Amino acid sequence: MAEPLVTPPNDSMQEQDREGAGEPSPYQRLSQRMQDVTGDRGVLKEVIREGAGDVVTPDASVLVKYSGYLEHMDKPFDTNCYRKVPRLMKLGEEITLWGMEVGLLTMRKGELARFLFKPRYAYGALGCPPLIPPNTTVLFELELLDFLDSAESDEFFALTAKQQDVFPLEKVLKVAGTEREFGNYLFRQNRFHDAKERYKRASLILCRRPFHPGEQGQIESAKLLVFLNLSFTYLKLERPSRALIYGEQALAIDQRNAKALFRCGQACLIMTEYERARDFLVRAQREQPLNHDINNELKKLASCYRHYMDKEKEMCYRIFSPLNSSAVQQN
């Protein structure tokens, strides 16, 4: 985040004395070079770093870092920058500050901007005691990391099953892609159960879609990505049998897919199905001979198999050694 344009606390009394003498305050000076977003100067904007792509849509879910400052204070009164991955927030539902929502709707992915929110767009005439005084203008710095447009997804799931079946393929693929992107975000937060539910929604959309000639290739490509996601997620959930099922479904689409072969090998290794694990992993290695993950998994398999055989030998020895001893004694 950029450094806030505020006055250090030890200079605050001097600054307030100048304001009392008729000099503009820091926020007043800043506002003179800012863009009026709302037309009533209630939300003012200064771009610190340009973004790229489309502007945020009204139904989007946003991934944003933010810090809020009071005038004459150099530390934020509210921030989420301490989080490694911010929480995904849906516009119109999970963002309570009106000015922040208005500001986000002007931003593009990767953009960093500074905003001034007048009381009407911030904490109102009452403020938020004891932290925010009444009728306070606040400064917020927003960094838009990413956003997901869920408008078409919301529209799709509001339809009946028959209506979904005739939804245009391009939009079906976009809805499935949006669900998968939500799953990817949740996966990165280690929320594997929630990620699985998003991936399964994407899978359901694609698998129940009756396709026409010429559409199969696009649908199969989309299904392949979702099946790979589901296989990996079930491994994280320690459910290798389900991981194997989705890995094999991916292989039904692309039998030489190295990721699918690798996931199936991992699942079989966890289930101690060593022969099957070796078959999958050797096939994966054939596709990507220099892949460190595949080669390391083969080493792990060899170690596990040796350990398994040693235990088998030890068990056999324990079973048969008393018989051998008694036979010797009888002779």
Q: Which amino acid is at 297?
A: E
pLDDT at 229: 98
134 in a domain, yes or no? Answer: yes
Residue 12: the pLDDT is 41
Alpha carbon 305 to its chain's center: 36
C-alpha 317/C-alpha 108 separation (Å) is 69
Cβ neighbours around 47 below 10 Å, total: 15
Task: Say if residue 168 is in the same domain as residue 57.
Answer: no
In the chain (331 residues long), the average pLDDT of successive 10-residue segments reads 44 45 84 95 96 92 94 91 84 91 96 97 92 94 91 84 84 91 90 93 86 83 97 97 97 96 96 93 96 94 76 64 53 49
Do 160 and 110 share a domain, yes or no? no
Examine residue 169 and state whether it is found in any structural domain, yes or no: yes
Buried/exposed 277-288: b ≥16 CB within 10 Å, e otherwise: bbebbebbbeee
Same domain, yes or no, for 135 and 230? no
Closest to 242 measured CA to CA, from 195, 184, 186, 196: 196
Q: Is the domain of 95 the same as that of 222?
A: no
- Which residues form the domain of 38? 26-149
Clarify whether residues 70 and 207 are in a common domain: no
Alpha carbon separation from 278 to 132, 141, 235, 290 (Å, rounded): 63, 53, 17, 17
Kindly state whether residues 85 and 132 are assigned to the same domain. yes
Residue 43 CA from chain centroid, whole number: 29
Q: At which of 149, 175, 191 does a domain end?
A: 149
- Do residue 139 and residue 165 come from a single domain? no
Within a domain: 319: no
Task: Decide which of 149, 171, 202 is a domain's last residue.
Answer: 149
* Whole-prediction pTM: 0.69
**Same domain? 55 vs 81:** yes
Q: Can you tell me the distance from the alpha carbon of 306 to that of 268, in angstroms, rounded to the nearest whole number?
A: 16
For Cα atoms 234, 232, 148, give the angle at the middle one, nearest 5 degrees: 100
Domain match, 111 and 194 both: no
Statement to judge: residues 273 and 135 lie in one domain: no
